[in-house]
Structure 1
Amino acid sequence: MRLKLLKPLLYSFDILQFVRVHLDVGVVKSSSRVIKVGGEPSNMKMSLLRFLNFLSKTHRKPIAAALFTRSLTTYSKQSIERRIFNRNSLPGHETSFGYSSTLHRIIYRSIHEDLTPKHLSVEHYEKNPAETKLEQDAARICTLLSTHSGSHADKLLEDASIKVSPSLVVEVLKRLSNAGVIALSFFTWAEKQKGFKYNTESYNALIEALGKIKQFKLIWSLVNEMKSRKLLNKDTFALISRRHARARKVEEAIEAFERMEEFGFKLETSDFNRLLDTLCKSRHVEKANKVFDKMKKRRFVPDIKSYTILLEGWGKEHNLLRLDEVYLEMKYDGFEPDVVTYGILISAYCKAKKYDAAIELFHEMEAKNCKPTPHVYCTLINGLGSEKRLSEALEFFERFKSCGFTPEAPTYNSLVGAYCWSMRIDDAFQVIDEMRKHSAGPNSRTYDIILHHLIKARRTNEAYFRFQKMSNEPGCEPTVSTYEIIVRMFCNEDRVDLAKQVWDQMKAKGVLPGMHMYSALITSLCHKNKLGEACKYFQEMLDAGIRPPAKMFSNLKQALLDERKNDEALNLARKINKLRGTPLVVRDQK
Structure 2
Amino acid sequence: MGKPPLFFSNLCIRKSPNPVQNTNPQNRFRNRSFCNDKIDGQCEEFGKNLQNTDVVFAQEISNVIQTRPRWEQTLLSDIPGVNFVDPNVYNEVLKQQKNVLLSVRFYYWVGSQNGFSPDPVSCNMIFSRLVEAKAAIAAKSFLEETKFEPEPGCLESYIGCLFENGLVEEALDVFERLKMAGHSVSLKTWNSAMLQSVKAKRVEIVWKLYSDMLEREVVGDVDTIGYLVQAFCIENKVAEGHKLLQQVLEVGHVPSNSAFNKLISAFCKSGDYAKVSALLHTMIAKNCSPDIHTYQEVIHGLCKRRMRHEALRIFNTLKDRGYFPDQVMYTTMIHGLCKMKWLGDARKLWFEMINKGIFPNEHTYNVLINGLWRTGNTEEAEKLYKNMCERGYGEFIVSYNTMINGLCLNGKLDEAHVLFDQMAEKGIVPDTITYNSLIQGFSKRGKISEGRYFLDQLLKQGLQPSTASYTVLIEKLCEAGNVGEAKAFWKDMVDRGVEPAVSAHDAMILGLCEQGNVAEGMEWLGTMLKSRLKPQKQTFERLVQCLSKADKLSDALFVLDYMLKMGFEVSEYIFLSLVKKLCQDNSSHFEMCFGRILERSRGS
Higher relative helix content? 2
- Over alpha carbons, which structure has the higher Rg? 2
Q: TM-score, normalised by structure 1?
A: 0.45
Bigger relative contact order (CA 8 A; separation at least 6): 1
